[in-house]
Amino acid sequence: MKTAVVTGANRGIGLEVCRQLAHAGYQVILTARDEAKGRKAADLLLEENLNVEFFLLDVTNNHHIRDLADFLKKKYGVLDALVNNAAIIGSRESVSAPSSDEIRQVMETNYFGPLMLIKELLPLLKQSDDGRIVNVSTGMGAWNDLVGNYAAYRLSKVGLNALTLMFANDLHGTGVKVNSVCPGWVKTDMGGANAPRTVEQGADTIVWAVTHSPMPTGKFFRNRREIPF
Ligand SMILES: NC(=O)c1ccc[n+]([C@@H]2O[C@H](COP(=O)([O-])OP(=O)(O)OC[C@H]3O[C@@H](n4cnc5c(N)ncnc54)[C@H](OP(=O)(O)O)[C@@H]3O)[C@@H](O)[C@H]2O)c1
């Protein structure tokens, strides 16, 4: 059975990605930074008879990341997919306004978290015959849309997209594919009540980028179609 790790999966798009991947036959490691919330989310999927287990992971905590790598190595010896979904949005401010503390906090979660996870889990992903890394990004981090509000968030997602391109280049020939996905504007705590998309729709292209074959590498997708970085 293939294995997949999803970050920030106790609610929102991450939880739905876990559900869809488990339905697609994956053993899902549902991770969250809050143990009670994470276990509750995993229990919800276990009640649906899905293959899901919980692991505590604050993506800003390097000890958690190393513990996850050790756990996966001992239990499975391989990882088939990493979905870097966890993120915070920060304040609405444009680029000169947010405090440096806030920008650092957003970068720690949305950029350094995925970077450290990829670095730590790469040996296990390379053990897969079709490893996948999916970085959950946003059109707000595309080069042609670096204007206006949510500056810290946009900067962090530009960085995330750069990780996609650089790891894709670095991993060429290893079999590990690295892509970014924009889920669209989705009705979650982050997206708000006015968002037009359901979590099922938001999770769709993320799950497709994990499961579909053949899959290119170093691309940015929305609605299962390539979009410009
Ligand atoms: N919703 C949208 O319209 C939209 C649009 C474009 C892109 N996206 C992207 O889609 C992804 C999921 O967004 P969402 O709408 O589902 O957001 P959400 O409802 O706000 O959920 C975010 C998740 O990330 C977790 N998280 C935050 N910081 C974390 C950390 N340090 N360690 C581990 N988990 C952490 C949260 O955990 P807690 O419950 O503990 O806070 C929560 O589970 C994000 O990458 C976001 O940027 C969303």
Please enumerate in sequence order all residues whose Cβ is within 8 A of that of 7, keeping only pairs 6 or more positions apart, or say none: 14, 31, 57, 59, 83, 84, 85, 86, 113, 114, 117
Q: Please identify, by atom number, the ligand 1 atom nearest to the C-alpha of residue 195.
A: 3
Among 5, 33, 145, 198, say which to mutate for ligand 1: greatest number of ligand atoms within 8 Å of CB.
33
Pairing of strands 220-222, 177-181: parallel
Q: Decide whether any atom of ligand 1 lies within 6 Å of the 194 Cβ.
A: no
Helices (H) and strands (E) in the chain, counts: 7, 8
110 C-alpha to ligand 1 centroid (Å): 9
Indicate whether this model's pTM tops 0.95: yes
Q: CB–CB of 160/137 below 8 Å? A: yes
- Residue ID of nearest Cα to ligand 1 atom 13: 13
What does the alpha-carbon distance between residue 37 and residue 43 come to, in Å, rounded to a whole number?
10
- Residue ID of nearest Cα to ligand 1 atom 33: 58
Domains of the chain: 3-226 (3.40.50.720)
Q: Looking at residue 133, what is its pLDDT?
A: 99
Q: Decide whether any atom of ligand 1 lies within 6 Å of the 84 Cβ.
A: no
Q: Looking at residue 97, what is its pLDDT?
A: 85
Q: Decide whether any atom of ligand 1 lies within 6 Å of the 56 Cβ.
A: no
pLDDT in tens, the chain (229 residues): 999 999 999 999 999 999 999 999 999 999 999 999 999 999 999 999 999 999 999 999 999 999 999 999 999 999 999 999 999 999 998 888 878 899 999 999 999 999 999 999 999 999 999 999 999 999 999 999 898 899 999 999 999 999 999 999 999 999 999 999 999 999 999 999 999 999 999 999 999 999 999 999 999 999 999 999 9
Active site residue 26: no
